[in-house]
């Protein structure tokens, strides 16, 4: 299963984090810093899966943004790797500007895709359905 | 669709975020945040009641501040208030804040529960979803207690919206993981399984996660999921990519769902129903075929999604370990990936192949990739990929390639990353010990290890080399000579000094004849290292010196002088001082006889589990090294066997006496007496389970028996006429098995109801079983070790009788153990000329047995090869003029005699027939082997 998902920039600042297994608040910052350091230090030709403590990190880089997913050993790495891309494509489809201003919406999207560390929905239009409904309400 | 332009973009929030982003320093950021926190606090505390929009805005700011890594200690109440709002955006922010920031033990839970309760009852799907997400994310016990009974109903109710079903499934999964007692299995379980048939693939995806999780806990309740999952998978893999519309990702149909379905199937053994099984095989074949088709898109996303499914399919194939053709195809596919330009694929291929190497069917196929893997070790730029390569080399190692692999690992060690050196050292040490035919090679390898990576050689490793040298006479002289030479180096590692000191102290006399390594030279050499060493090493050297006094009286005075020096007798370290004083006195007052007795050569160490292996397991963590567990590569077992084979204890009838546990079972007679008064003595007539017996003719490991309660797995290994079988009893239920007992009997004695025999001496076969713990906890596994000795050739296999109480009912299970004559084969390589000469010598009519039979399985020559090798004989290439035929040779070892055996298998692919010819010096052996082998094709 998926343990957490992080979005960080190249400076190592966390832009979004979502945990699916309980991690104490005080330890999150430490964990995030360490995980980010682990991924940022890797080169392009290195593999996108990193063994980290007793689980694995799957990461993908989009320009200055890194998305890092912590998964248990039993998870299929490639499918998570593509899940990240699917997520980014959904974000692309919905947002035209910097997503940081719309963190709540990013969370809605993420919650539509992953719940509890498991994939629930991969169909882009269904992922965006609640948000679009929301926007219609606001317009109306 | 620029959302920011939409009506509710919170301007204040956007300004705040911009401010933060524009902060030039960390200090400025903290200052800005503190200002904002003060502002929010005053707003929340102010007299003016805030409207929903402002509450939302401030809570959202707090959330953002929290995500930047700052503590938030207020605002929870406002967030809870937002739950009761009727506006979706406000409610959503409230839930988001709670699920990100509220701990499961917060005292706010009761208030939150109230909000959830209203939303669940609202019948508004978006509100219900938020509430379900919240239950799942917060995961508090109190919350679970309040809602657990409702969730299954929401999930299976006919009128629930699809998206709510998805959330309910994942919520239930969380509840089941966290507090399984609150969601007992019930009539909903059957209906959950049918969600696999749901029209909506999103629901199927969520349901598959749930069912996989539940099936891992109680497989029996969800057995029906197998056929549904296979059907679903089959529909997906055979569909045209457009059929699944939005679930198609870069021309791949529902990749994530396919992966999940394959994962669900991994919870179960291969389906027993033939039609279902062939449908599954078809699916897997289709997936393998697709990998060979030209890609439908050049995008990397396409190939990644396709390969995600492929790797999961290969995991399933490996786990089932039952279809040789699929296994070999999987291996070939992975072989292609090993050279792929994508690092990710090479990494995954190495990882996957590691598990493939432990399957009997594909071990040989994996071995063919050895050069690619070695190349990966040398050229990969990523340490994690190189680490996988090391793992794979370790897994594919066997007697035939051990020297090459160990040499490559040693040379890699010189440049290896520090992070993985210790592990490589352990692996080299294990492989060197396990596959050492010639122990001089072993000694060389370990000394090289110490030379190259002395700092990473742990105590276990050098203890082990000493144990082995002491236990093996033939290598002692060589070891003494080699360490002596190694110690000549001006700078040598302290570990080498330790090994050198110990070995020269014990066996220095073996090389003392040579003037270049006379006693004095040896002593001076060791003593030249003394002052550079740490205290424990010095202590060891002092012991070596006193041993020298015993071995070589001529250096006695020199050594006594050294011991007498102030730096020894008055050493600041108590241990060193004491040794010096005691050794000096001992050497002065004791007579030569006493000295010789006290300082006698060390007795052989009792053989026990190699501590190195234990260390490697610990290092990797449980369950991380499946290859080690495979009996094919069970280090300790094999050395124990060779010990026994070479040095049977005289005066004992039983070569395994020394290995018996101390708390051995009561004698047979006693237990029989007890049995009369217990219900055990009147067992229902039991059928001996032979179902899987024949599958074990050509392999040594696997599951021999499985029912709803119990799974019995076997790992076995044989050397000459001795064998050891590890029997694993897995309790599949969640309840204890009580009064568990398991014993071995020959089939005849079974009929006579001697059920509790622990040691059965049938004339041809001795099997000794250690006792097992009488209680097996729910979900736990216990191991029983059977030691087997083949006295003379035999036909009947022993049976294992198992009894236990499960929920008050007495269970009896009897399983035929796959101990067959061919297990005691040792392969023999020979030239074509030798082969035909012997073939002619065994020409008497009763020595030959021939059988012509129809093929039961597809006639694949690779599979046939693997089976013949698994049967135990050596495959001889180029002996038979017809390359399609197989020729093998081996020797059956029994205690009384050895029986040479030649075999020839001629496949006729057109007629789908085989002709099998066996020639051995004994007619009974020929017949038995022919019966066993002919059944396999």
- Model confidence at B170: pLDDT above 50: yes
- More confidently predicted of B275 and B707: B275
Q: For residue B270, what pLDDT band results from cuts at 50, 70 and 90?
A: very high
Kindly state whether B248 is in contact with chain A, defined as any CB-CB distance less than 8 angstroms.
Answer: no
Pairing of strands B759-761, B825-827: unpaired
Using a CB–CB cutoff of 8 Å, tell me whether B771 touches chain A.
Answer: no
Q: How far is CA B35 from CA B29, B50, B194, B420, B492, in A?
A: 10, 20, 55, 48, 64
Helices within B245-369 (DSSP H only): 255-265, 274-292, 300-320, 324-337, 343-356, 363-367
pLDDT of residue B315: 93
Band of the pLDDT at A98, cuts 50, 70, 90?
low
Q: Which of B394, B306, B402, B300 is nearest to B351 (CA)?
A: B394
Whether B68 and chain A come into contact, CB under 8 Å, resolves to yes
d(CA B831, CA B837): 10
- Pair B721, B648: CB distance under 8 Å: no
- Point out the least confidently predicted range of A10-24, B503-517, B553-567: A10-24
Q: What is the mean pLDDT of residues B305-330?
A: 92
In this complex, the residue of A86, A121, A133 whose CB is nearest that of residue B166 is: A121
Helix (H) or strand (E) holding B766, with range, is: strand B765-769
Report the largest interatomic distance among the alpha carbons of chain A, rounded to a whole angstrom: 50
- Answer for the pair B697, B822: CB distance below 8 angstroms, yes or no: yes
Q: Regarding beta strands B688-689 and B710-719, do their DSSP bridges make them parallel or antiparallel, or are they unpaired? A: unpaired
Closest CA to A64 of A90, A111, A99, A114: A99
**How close B376 comes to chain A (CA, Å)?**
13
DSSP string, B779-803: T-EEEEEEEEEE-S---SPPEEEEE
- Element containing residue B910 per DSSP (H, E): none
Measured CA to CA, the distance from residue B860 to residue B858 in angstroms comes to 6
- Which two tokens mark B332? 């070939």
Strand order in the sheet with B737-745: B688-689, B809-816, B799-806, B737-745
Q: What angle do CA B627, B630, B635 make, to 5 degrees?
A: 95
Indicate whether B246 pLDDT > 50.
Answer: yes
Comparing alpha-carbon positions, the chain B residue that sits nearest to A43 is B382
Interface touch B256/A97, C-beta < 8 Å: no
Return the ∠ at Cα B12 (arms to B11 and B13), rounded to 5°.
Answer: 90
Question: What's the burial of B483, exposed, middle or buried (CB within 10 Å: 0-12/13-18/19+)?
Answer: buried
**What are the phi and psi torsion angles at A15 (to 5°)?**
-105, -25
| Mutation choice for B interface testing from A79, A100, A131, A135 by most B CBs within 10 A | A79
Q: Which segments of B685-791 does DSSP mark as H helices, in order?
A: 747-751
Q: Predicted confidence band at A136 (pLDDT cuts at 50, 70, 90)?
A: confident
Which residue in chain B is spatially nearest to A111 when comparing CA positions?
B133
Q: Do A121 and B202 touch (CB under 8 A)?
A: yes
Lowest average pLDDT, out of A3-7, B661-665, B882-886, goes to B661-665
Work out the minimum CA distance from B649 to partner chain A, whole angstroms: 46
Give the count of alpha carbons within 13 A of B617, CB side only.
Answer: 15
Position B756 pLDDT exceeds 80: no
Does residue B676 register a pLDDT over 70? no
SS (H, E, C) B38-56: HHHHHHHHCCCCCCHHHHH
| pLDDT reading at B838 higher than 90 | no
CB contact under 8 A, A79 and B126: no
- A25 interfaces chain B, CB cutoff of 8 Å: yes
- β-bridge mates for residue A70, sequence order: A4, A57
* Residue B102: closest CA among B118, B120, B78, B126: B78
DSSP assignments along B592-661, one per residue: HHHHHHHTPPPPPPPP---HHHHHHHHHH-TTS-HHHHSGGG-HHHHHHHHHHHH-PPTT-S-TTGGGS-
- Chain A residues touching residue B625 (CB < 8 angstroms): none
- Contact call for A96 and B1, based on CB within 8 A: yes
Confidence of residue B278 (pLDDT cuts 50, 70, 90): very high
| SS3 state of residue A87 | helix
* Residue of higher predicted confidence among B309 and B861: B309
Rounded mean pLDDT, B297-326: 91
What pLDDT is attached to residue B762?
57
Among the partner-chain residues A48, A79, A116, the one whose CB lies closest to the CB of B344 is A48
b/e per residue B93-103 (b: at least 16 CB within 10 A)? bbbbbbbbbbe
ipTM (interface pTM): 0.89
Cβ(B130)–Cβ(A111) below 8 Å = no
CA B455-B458-B461 angle, to 5 degrees, is 120
Q: How confident is the model at residue A101 (pLDDT cuts 50, 70, 90)?
A: low
- Alpha-carbon span B351 to B388, nearest angstrom: 6
Q: Say how far apart CA B596 and CA B587 lie, in whole Å.
A: 11
E strand or H helix at A83 = helix A77-94
Cα separation, B315 vs B266, whole angstroms? 8
8 Å CB contact between B757 and B743: yes
- Residue A54: how many other CB atoms lie within 10 Å: 9
Of B317, B239, B255, nearest to B285 by C-alpha is B317
Angle formed at CA B286 by CA B280 and CA B291, multiple of 5 degrees? 135
pLDDT per residue as tens digits for the range A45-78: 888 998 888 889 999 998 888 999 999 988 999 9
Inspect the interface and report whether the beta carbons of A137 and B88 lie closer than 8 Å.
yes
Q: Do A79 and B312 touch (CB under 8 A)?
A: yes
Say yes or no for a CB contact (<8 Å) between B348 and A134.
no
Q: Which chain B residue has its CA at the smallest distance from A74's CA? A: B263
DSSP secondary structure code for residue B774 in this structure: S
Q: How far apart are the first and last CA of chain B?
A: 64
Shortest CA gap B381–chain A (Å):
7
Only one residue has tokens 């990739």, namely B369
Q: What is the mean pLDDT of residues B106-115?
A: 83
Tell me whether B311 touches chain A (CB under 8 Å).
Answer: yes
Cβ neighbours of A73 in B, within 8 Å: 624
Residues in chain A with CB shorter than 8 Å from the CB of B21 are 100
Residue B165, token pair as written in the block: 């079903």
Cβ–Cβ < 8 Å for B394, B627: yes
Cβ neighbours of B312 in A, within 8 Å: 76, 79
For B432-479, how does the pLDDT look when each residue is reduced to its tens digit (9 = 90+)?
Answer: 988 888 889 999 999 899 888 888 888 888 888 888 888 888 889 999
- CA-nearest residue to B165 within chain A is A120
Burial B687-701 (b: 16+ CB within 10 A, else e): ebbeebbeebbbbbb
Calpha distance B56→A116 (Å, rounded): 25
pLDDT in tens, B701-752: 888 888 878 888 888 888 888 888 888 888 888 788 888 888 887 655 433 3
Q: What is the 3 state secondary structure string of chain A?
A: CEEEEEEEECCCCEEEEEECCCCCHHHHHHHHHHHHHHHHCCCCCCCCEEEECCEEEEEEEECCEEEEEEECCCCCHHHHHHHHHHHHHHHHHHCCCCHHHHHHHHHHHHHHHEECCEECCCCHHHHHHHHHHHHHHHHC
Q: Are B504 and B524 spatial neighbours (Cβ–Cβ below 8 Å)? A: no
Q: Show which of residues 86-145 on chain B sit within 8 Å of chain A, judged by CB atoms.
A: 88-89, 92-93, 96, 100-101, 103-104, 126, 129, 133, 136-137, 139
Listed residue (A6, A33, A45, A129) closest to B381, CA to CA: A45
- Left (φ > 0), alpha (ψ -120 to 50) or beta: where does B745 sit? beta
Alpha carbons A94 and A91: distance in angstroms, whole number: 5
Min Cα distance B137 → chain A (Å) is 6
Give the B window 158-177 contacts with A, CB below 8 Å: 163, 166-167, 169-171, 173-174
The C-alpha atoms of residue B191 and residue B185 are separated, in whole angstroms, by: 11
Average pLDDT over all residues of chain B = 81
B-interface mutation test, from A77, A120, A126, A132, most B Cβ less than 10 A away: A120
pTM: 0.64
> What per-residue confidence (pLDDT) applies to A99?
56
B346/A79 Cβ within 8 A: no
Q: Which of B92, B209, B246 sits opposite A108 (nearest CB)?
A: B92
Is A92's pLDDT higher than 50? Answer: yes
Chain-chain contact of B246 with A126 (C-beta, under 8 angstroms)? yes
Complete DSSP assignment for B91-153: HHHHHHHHHHH--TT-TTHHHHHHHHHHHHHT--HHHHHHHHHHHHHH--HHHHHHHTTHHHH
pLDDT band at B678 (very low <50, low <70, confident <90, very high): very low
Instruction: Assign B253 to helix, strand or coil.
Output: strand
* pLDDT number for residue B640: 36
Residues of B in contact with A111 (CB under 8 A): 133
The token pair that represents B229 in the structure block: 């999952």
- d(C-alpha B750, C-alpha B752), whole Å: 5
Question: Average pLDDT, stretch B881-900?
Answer: 85
Return the bridge partners of B134, or none.
none
> What angle separates helix B255-265 from helix B201-217, to the nearest 10 degrees?
20
Task: List the Cα angle B666/B672/B678 in 5-degree steps.
Answer: 110
Element containing residue B730 per DSSP (H, E): strand B722-731
Residues of B comprising the binding site?
A: 11-12, 43, 53, 57-61
pLDDT at B92 over 90: no
pLDDT at position B455:
85
Question: Between these two residues, B778 and B356, which has the higher pLDDT value?
Answer: B356
Top pLDDT among B594 and B619 is at B594
Q: pLDDT tens across B771-819, in order?
A: 788 888 887 888 888 888 888 888 888 888 888 887 767 788 888 888 8
Q: Which tokens go with B470?
A: 């002491």
Of B92, B249, B260, the CB nearest to A82: B249
CB contacts < 8 A, A to B, total: 184
- pLDDT > 70 in chain B, percent: 88
Nearest by CB: B256 against A47, A83, A108:
A83
> What integer is the mean pLDDT of B377-389?
88
- Partners of residue B102 in chain A, C-beta under 8 Å: none
Q: What is the pLDDT of residues B536-584, one digit of tens each?
A: 999 999 999 999 998 888 888 999 999 988 888 888 888 899 999 999 9
Question: Using CA atoms, how far apart are residues A67 and A90, in angstroms rounded to an integer?
Answer: 14
- CB contacts, 8 Å: B311 with chain A: 76-78
Give the angle subtended at the CA of B120 by the CAs of B118 and B126, to the nearest 5°.
110
Q: Rounded CA gap, B395 and B58, in Å?
A: 57
Range 28-87 of A in CB contact (< 8 A) with B: 28-29, 32, 42-43, 45-51, 54, 73-74, 76-79, 81-83, 85-86
**Residue B910: predicted pLDDT:** 82
375-394 in chain B: CB under 8 A from chain A: 381-382, 384-385, 387
């Amino acid at each position: 299963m998926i343990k957490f998902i992080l979005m960080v920039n190249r400076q190592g600042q966390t832009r979004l984090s979502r945990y699916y297994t309980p991690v104490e608040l005080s330890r999150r910052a430490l964990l995030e810093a360490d995980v980010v350091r682990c991924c940022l230090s890797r080169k392009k030709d290195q593999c996108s899966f990193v063994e980290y403590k007793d689980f694995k990190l799957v990461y993908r880089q989009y320009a200055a943004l890194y998305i890092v997913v912590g998964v248990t050993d039993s998870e299929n790495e490639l499918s998570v790797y593509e899940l990240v891309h699917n997520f980014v494509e959904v974000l692309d489809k919905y947002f035209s500007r910097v997503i940081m201003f719309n963190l709540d919406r990013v969370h809605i999207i993420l919650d539509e895709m992953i719940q509890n560390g498991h994939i629930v929905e991969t169909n882009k239009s269904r992922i965006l359905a609640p948000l679009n409904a929301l926007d219609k309400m606001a317009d109306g | 669709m620029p959302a920011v332009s939409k009506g509710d973009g919170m301007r204040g929030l956007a300004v705040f975020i911009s401010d933060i982003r524009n902060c030039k320093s960390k200090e400025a950021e903290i200052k800005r945040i503190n200002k904002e926190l003060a502002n929010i606090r005053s707003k929340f505390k102010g007299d003016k009641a805030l409207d929903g929009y402002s509450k939302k805005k401030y809570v959202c700011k707090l959330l953002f501040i929290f995500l930047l890594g700052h503590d938030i200690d207020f605002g929870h109440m406002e967030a809870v208030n937002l739950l009761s709002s009727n506006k979706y955006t406000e409610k959503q922010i409230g839930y988001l804040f709670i699920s990100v920031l509220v701990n499961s033990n917060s005292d706010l839970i009761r208030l939150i529960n109230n909000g959830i309760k209203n939303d669940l009852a609202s019948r508004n799907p978006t509100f219900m979803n938020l509430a379900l997400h919240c239950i799942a994310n917060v995961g508090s016990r109190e919350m679970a207690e309040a809602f657990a009974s409702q969730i299954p109903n929401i999930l299976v109710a006919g009128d629930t919206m699809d998206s709510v079903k998805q959330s309910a499934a994942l919520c239930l999964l969380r509840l089941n993981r966290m507090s399984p007692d609150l969601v007992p299995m019930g009539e909903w379980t059957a209906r959950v399984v049918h969600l696999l048939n749901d029209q909506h693939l999103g629901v199927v995806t969520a349901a598959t996660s749930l069912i996989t999780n539940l099936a891992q806990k109680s497989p029996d309740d969800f057995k029906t999921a197998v056929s549904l999952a296979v059907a679903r998978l089959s529909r997906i893999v055979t569909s045209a990519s457009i059929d699944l519309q939005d679930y198609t990702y870069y021309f791949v149909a529902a990749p994530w769902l396919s992966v999940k379905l394959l994962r669900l199937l991994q919870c179960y053994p291969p389906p027993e129903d033939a039609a279902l099984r062939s449908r599954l095989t078809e699916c897997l074949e289709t997936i393998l075929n697709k990998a060979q088709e030209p890609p439908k898109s050049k995008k990397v996303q396409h190939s990644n999604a396709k390969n995600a499914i492929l790797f999961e399919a290969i995991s399933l194939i490996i786990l089932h370990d039952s279809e040789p053709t699929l296994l070999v195809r999987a291996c070939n596919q992975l072989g292609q990936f090993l050279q792929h330009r994508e690092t990710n694929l090479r990494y995954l291929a190495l990882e996957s192949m590691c598990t493939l190497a432990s399957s009997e069917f594909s071990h040989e196929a994996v071995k063919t990739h050895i050069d690619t893997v070695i190349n990966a070790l040398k050229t990969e730029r990523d340490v994690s990929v190189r680490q996988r390569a090391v793992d794979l080399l370790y897994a594919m190692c066997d007697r035939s390639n051990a020297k090459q692999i160990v040499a490559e690992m040693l040379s890699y060690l010189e440049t290896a990353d520090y992070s993985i050196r210790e592990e490589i050292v352990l692996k080299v040490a294990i492989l060197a010990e396990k596959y050492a035919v010639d122990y001089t090679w072993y000694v060389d390898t370990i000394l090289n290890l110490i030379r190259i990576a002395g700092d990473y050689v742990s105590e276990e490793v050098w203890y082990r080399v000493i144990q082995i040298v002491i236990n093996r006479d033939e290598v002692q002289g060589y070891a003494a000579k080699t360490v002596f030479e190694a110690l000549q180096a001006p700078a040598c590692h302290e570990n080498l000094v330790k090994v050198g000191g110990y070995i020269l102290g014990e066996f220095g006399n073996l090389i003392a004849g040579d003037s270049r390594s006379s006693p004095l030279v040896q002593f001076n050499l060791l003593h030249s290292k003394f002052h550079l060493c740490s205290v424990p090493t010095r202590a060891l050297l002092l012991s070596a010196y006193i041993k020298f006094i015993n071995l070589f009286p001529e250096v006695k005075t020199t050594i006594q002088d050294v011991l007498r020096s102030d730096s020894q007798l008055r050493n600041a370290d108590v241990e060193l001082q004491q040794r010096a004083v005691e050794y000096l006195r001992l050497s002065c007052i004791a007579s030569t006889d006493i000295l010789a007795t006290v300082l006698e050569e060390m007795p052989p160490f009792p053989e026990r589990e190699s501590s190195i292996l234990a260390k490697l397991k610990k290092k990797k963590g449980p369950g991380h090294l499946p290859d080690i567990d495979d009996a094919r590569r069970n280090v300790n077992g094999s050395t124990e066997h060779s010990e026994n084979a070479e040095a049977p204890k005289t005066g004992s009838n039983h070569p395994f006496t020394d290995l018996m546990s101390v708390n051995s079972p009561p004698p047979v007679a006693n237990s029989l007496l007890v049995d009369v008064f217990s219900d055990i003595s009147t067992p229902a007539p039991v059928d001996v389970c032979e179902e899987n017996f024949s599958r074990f003719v050509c392999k040594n490991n696997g599951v021999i028996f499985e029912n709803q309660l119990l799974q019995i797995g076997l790992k076995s290994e044989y050397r000459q006429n001795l064998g050891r079988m590890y029997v694993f009893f897995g309790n599949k239920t969640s309840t204890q098995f009580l009064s568990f007992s398991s014993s071995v009997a020959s089939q005849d004695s079974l009929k006579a109801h001697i059920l509790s025999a622990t040691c059965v001496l049938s004339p041809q076969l001795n099997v000794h079983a250690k006792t097992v713990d009488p209680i097996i906890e729910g979900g736990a596994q216990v191991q029983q070790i059977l030691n087997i000795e083949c006295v003379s050739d035999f036909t009947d296999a022993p049976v294992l009788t198992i009894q236990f109480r499960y929920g008050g009912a007495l269970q009896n299970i009897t399983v035929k153990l796959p101990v067959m004559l061919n297990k005691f084969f040792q392969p023999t390589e020979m030239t074509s000329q030798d082969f035909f000469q012997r073939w002619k010598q065994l020409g008497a009519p009763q020595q030959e047995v021939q059988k012509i039979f129809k093929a039961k399985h597809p006639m694949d020559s690779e599979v046939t090869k693997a089976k013949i090798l698994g049967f135990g004989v050596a495959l001889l290439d180029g002996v038979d003029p017809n390359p399609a035929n197989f020729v093998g040779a081996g020797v059956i070892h029994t205690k009384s005699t050895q029986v040479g055996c030649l075999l020839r298998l001629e496949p006729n692919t057109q007629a789908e027939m085989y002709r099998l010819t066996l020639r051995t010096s004994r007619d009974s052996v020929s017949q038995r082997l022919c019966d066993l082998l002919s059944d396999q094709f």
